[in-house]
Structure 1
Amino acid sequence: MEQQSAVSLDVVTLRYGPDDPTLTLGVAARQWEPFAGELALPGVLLGRGERLVAAARRAVHTKLGAPEAAITAVGQLATFDEPNRDPRGPTLSIAMWAVVADHPSDATWVPFDKVPPLAFDHNRIIEAARELLAGMLWKDLTFTRAMVGEEFPATRAVELTTALDGARPDPGNLNRTLAALPGLTRTGERVRVKATGRPAAVWAFDRTA
């Protein structure tokens, strides 16, 4: 009789609050074998009757120490079914994304370009997730609003796009993308950004949208 696969969730958890200098993702040391002590994405086995979003929130809360109130949005990314990805036996991994607000944590937060070697196939999951999230930015409103907030300077749009794409966007193309986003408008206000010292245009979502 063939061994039945278990279903796990691994969560690419992003943090990019107003005071964060760059987009980072959370990893934490594993407590148990296999790979005890090694860094990994927060993950859990899916409980009987448990919904994916609930399991993802549980993973972020228990493995990264994020309070429930700090988890602002959660969604699904992709499924990884390589039979030998887990030394314990066949394990199907559903990769999820989550966005959290800044909070006290013992977890390790790293930029996409500086992710250390991780347990299981988590480096591969992150590589695939980065491309998927880059495609969602400025298209998926739930993800986008969770990342940038209801109001943000244009410089944050540039920083976030750069962090996910791995390359700085063309300013004209980015402005056209922002202008075409439903419910998002350029306010006419400007704020001075510490990093550049120059005023940046402010964009805001219609809170009723």
Structure 2
Amino acid sequence: MTFEYSHARPALTVDCVVFGLDQRKLQVLLIQRDLPPFRGDWALPGGFVQIDETLESAARRELREETGLEQVYLEQLSTYGAVDRDPRERVVTVAWYALVRMSDHRVMAATDARDAAWYGIDDLPSLAFDHDLILQAAQKRLQNKVQYQPIGFELLPKKFSLSQLQFLYETILDRELDKRNFRKKILSLGVLQELDEYETNVAHRAARLYRFDRRQYQRMLKQGVHFEI
């Protein structure tokens, strides 16, 4: 492809906020930059969009190249275009956020990332560029959307207890939920499939396990019934 323009053009990048959940808190995946600017600093995974790829393809490629992550839930967040956000040149970035089952993926730094690691949402290092702003926006989006769409299940094991599910919502929303009311509400939605299986290797009484019923959720949508926590 050939192009000819008479005016200056900004560069285009993608940046990805990757959320995971362990037994303690919400986690964010960061990469340590191996190239200037901000060499040695921590940042969100991302990079420049190639001329022949879509924005989502670019985001997935950068995740794969810099962290080893593939086949993850990915959704576009927003666009950031402050004139001075990148010291190299005028760069506009399209931000995305991803949700990951941490146990399903092995994180591995590559290309221009010196390292890749999970950080607790409350224990983050100083981030390069305007990535702290992007991260804050992604966290707010997650807090809002998890209440009306079942995206939180992307962070859980495929089989989980009700206690694990409540912990997920309390962690993301950053507030305690009444146990009785939460269970009554979530079970009334009809999107959980009760399994004839129980937790193993736990110090407390083993709890029953459940699975998210995606087909039932799709039927709910067609019937005009909305998911709401």
> TM-score normalised to the size of structure 1?
0.81
Structure 1 position 91 matched with structure 2 position 91 = yes
Report what 1:134 is aligned to: 143
Q: Report the number of matched residues.
A: 201
Report what 2:122 is aligned to: 113
- State the superposition RMSD in angstroms: 2.7
Q: Identity across aligned pairs (percent)?
A: 28
Cα pair 1:189 1:202 within 8 Å, conserved: yes
Code of the residue aligned with 1:203 in structure 2: it is Y
Q: Which runs of 5+ in 1 are unaligned?
A: none
- CA apart distance, 1:39: 0.6
Report what 1:32 is aligned to: 35
Report what 1:103 is aligned to: 106
Distance (Å, rounded) in 1 between the aligned partners of 2:63 and 2:46: 8
Cα pair 1:46 1:55 within 8 Å, conserved: yes
Q: Secondary structure at the match of 2:171?
A: helix
Cα pair 2:67 2:107 within 8 Å, conserved: no
Distance (Å, rounded) in 1 between the aligned partners of 2:7 and 2:31: 33
> Residues 6-17 of structure 1: matches in 2 within 5 Å?
6-16=11-21
Cα pair 2:44 2:131 within 8 Å, conserved: yes
Distance (Å, rounded) in 2 between the aligned partners of 1:12 and 1:147: 14
Code of the residue aligned with 2:13 in structure 1: it is S
Instruction: Tell me which structure has the larger Cα radius of gyration.
Output: 2
Code of the residue aligned with 1:60 in structure 2: it is L
Structure 1 position 21 matched with structure 2 position 23 = yes
Q: What's the CA shift string for 1:28-61, capped at 9, x where partnerless?
A: 1112111111110001112224223221211111
Q: Which runs of 5+ in 2 are unaligned?
A: 1-5, 109-114, 217-229
> TM-score normalised to the size of structure 2?
0.74
CA 130–199 in structure 1, closer or farther in 2 if over 3 Å, else same: same
Report what 1:73 is aligned to: 73
Match of 2:48 among 33, 45, 50: 45
Structure 1 position 166 matched with structure 2 position 174 = yes
Following TM superposition, the consecutive aligned residue runs of length 4 or more in structure 1 with deviations greater than 4 angstroms are: 185-190
